[in-house]
Copies of this chain bind each other. A is one copy, B any other.
Amino acid sequence: MTSQDLVDQIRAKRSFLCVGLDTDITKLPDSIAGRREAIFEFNKAIIDATADLCVAYKPNLAFYEAIGARGWEQLDKTVKYIREKYPRILTIADAKRGDISNTAALYARSIFQHLGFDAVTVAPYMGRDAVQPFLDYQGKWAIVLALTSNSSYDEFQLLPIAGTPPRPLYQEIVQRSRQWGHEGNMMYVVGATRAEMLKEIRKLAPDHFLLIPGVGQQGGSLAEVVKHGMNRQCGLLVNSARGIIYADRGPRFAQAAREKALELQREMEGYLREAGIVQG
């Protein structure tokens, strides 16, 4: 999927919402829990209820690995379902992978070829050759962790790198990694809870898409994210997981998920109008 495809989707749907399919087998509605493919059935219902309101789906692989081979099968079915029924929606494997190049090449094969995702989150600590194998796939994306939304993010990400003036590690990572790829095959993860730092990342990567987790349950504000992070083509994918998929645990969970997604989409439409990215 190209950057232009993504921009077209954002304009058409008036949304830059990414729905996090962090499907926890212990939190499924009674109407589904216990079925053989409960996770897939839950995802399918959530997807059908939200597909016209979002431009991306992002399963975090931990939730699937947590139940072993059976989880892997249901992840596979989930991605295939999105690709077949909603082929214009970006699929992101939130895997945070990072390993030496021959191993990274296997992760890339697994995530892009075997599972068929469009994009994957990657950890930067090992440097370029741990990310390059993901960039070697035409039409696929590597999304590099820059600033994360967890509470101990500052322990290393804000360490000052010696220089005049010193600057925090996360900025050094964005600055250097920009040269690994381009705006059409790389994005950055920037936690919504760090909105004030989005400004700095926007200076370093004015045209890259930024994937923003942490809005909602983790306390990030959409307004702040937009203020500091939106560019002329939007340039944002804002993820919400728990706030949408667990909006209701009863039999109307899918409808409740739709309502939460719709709230976010409407708020996003307002920002896209204000920025002149969509009209009317």
Interfacial residues, chain A to chain B (CB-CB below 8 A): 22, 24, 60, 62-63, 65-70, 72-73, 76, 94, 96-101, 103-104, 106-107, 109-110, 114-115, 123-130, 145, 148-157, 159-163, 166, 169, 172-173, 176
Contact = CB atoms under 8 A, between A and B. Distances in A.
Contacts of A66: 106-107, 109-110, 114
Contacts of A103: 22, 60, 62-63
Interface centre among A72, A94, A109, A163 (most CB of B within 10 A): A72
Contacts of A107: 62, 65-66
Contacts of A172: 156, 159
A100 B156 contact: no
Contacts of A159: 161, 169, 172
Nearest to A74: B69
8 contacts: A24-B106, A65-B110, A66-B110, A101-B151, A125-B148, A126-B156, A126-B157, A130-B150
Copy total for this chain: 2
A110 B276 CA distance: 46
Given A66-B106, A123-B123, A126-B148, A169 B166 contact: no
Interface centre among A69, A104, A107, A128 (most CB of B within 10 A): A69
Given A124-B156, A161-B161, A162-B162, A150 B173 contact: no
Given A127-B155, A152-B126, A110 B68 contact: yes
A261 to B, nearest CB: 21
A110 B62 CA distance: 8
Closest 3 interchain pairs by CB?
Answer: A127-B152, A127-B155, A69-B72
A125 B128 contact: no
Contact of A123 (B68, B96, B176): B96
B101 A150 contact: yes
A130 to B, nearest CB: 6
A152 B125 contact: no
A145 B126 contact: yes
Given A96-B97, A123-B123, 17 more contacts: A60-B103, A62-B103, A62-B107, A62-B110, A65-B106, A65-B110, A66-B109, A67-B114, A68-B110, A69-B73, A94-B99, A100-B148, A100-B150, A126-B148, A126-B150, A127-B153, A162-B162
A101 to B, nearest CB: 6
A65 B150 CA distance: 26
A225 to B, nearest CB: 17
